[in-house]
Chain A
């Protein structure tokens, strides 16, 4: 099993550009989520999904869109990048139905810089 795979590992964008951060998992996890990690802030939840076709907002959703068309994939879209979105982004997944307290499995992160 590859676990949770994130691409790209690094990305530099100019203000106003758009891009999609990719996340895929091969563990058949129902729940997937995106977090951002900023210095002095810990990890904060952006969006999450409890299954294909279902998404919901987390703590810091503004400026980001998500969709979940398959169980395996959960891309994060930045429609118009801003310097405030410079961060390290982590995708995570876990079992959901009937196993509410199963731990999150994280990808290795995407380091995004917006200039």
Chain B
């Protein structure tokens, strides 16, 4: 049973506009959340993270929002650039196993149109 869900397999956005990628989770014990970005034929690379004690974390063009009551997080990319075209994975770790086991979503393929 998928504990981290990314319900949109793909998203297309015009260059310069905002990209919003969504992620839902079911395990209330998750306390740390990460976003990874993956280009074809490469491994995922870390993008941004957020602890459950915060509701927002910002790093340049990337902002992650966490809504614990809704068990929902989102990644905002502003402005979107063609180089942002990749698959984005949401991941979470829980208070029991800690960071030894990350649970990943199925990914959302973002295409930024020039």
Query: Contacts of B32 on A, CB cut-off 8 Å?
Result: 101
Q: Per a CB cutoff under 8 Å, which of A31, A33, A44, A108 touches B42?
A: A108
- Specify the chain A residue showing the minimal Cβ separation from B100: A48
A-B CB pair tally, cutoff 8 Å:
62
Contact with B along A32-68 (1 / 0, CB 8 A): 0101000011111100101000001011000000000
Q: Per a CB cutoff under 8 Å, which of B45, B98, B105 touches A106?
A: B45
Query: Contacts of A103 on B, CB cut-off 8 Å?
Result: 34, 46, 49
Q: How far is the CB of B66 from chain A (nearest CB, A)?
A: 14
Query: Contacts of A108 on B, CB cut-off 8 Å?
Result: 41-43
| B interface: dominant SS | strand
Interface residues on B, range: 20 to 34
Tell me if B102 counts as interface (CB < 8 A to partner A): yes
Q: How many chain A residues touch B (Cβ–Cβ < 8 Å)?
A: 29
| Complex CA–CA separation, A40 to B49 (angstroms) | 23
Q: How far is the CB of B87 from chain A (nearest CB, A)?
A: 10
| A interface: dominant SS | strand
| Complex CA–CA separation, A105 to B42 (angstroms) | 11
Do B101 and A58 have beta carbons less than 8 Å apart? yes
Contact with A along B77-114 (1 / 0, CB 8 A): 00000000000010101000011111111110000000
Q: Per a CB cutoff under 8 Å, which of A45, A90, A102 touches B44?
A: A90
Do A90 and B43 have beta carbons less than 8 Å apart? yes
- Specify the chain B residue showing the minimal Cβ separation from A49: B100
Residues of B within 8 A of A (CB): 2, 4, 32, 34, 36, 41-46, 49, 51, 89, 91, 93, 98-107
The 5 closest A-B pairs by CB, nearest first: A106-B43, A103-B46, A42-B104, A43-B104, A42-B106
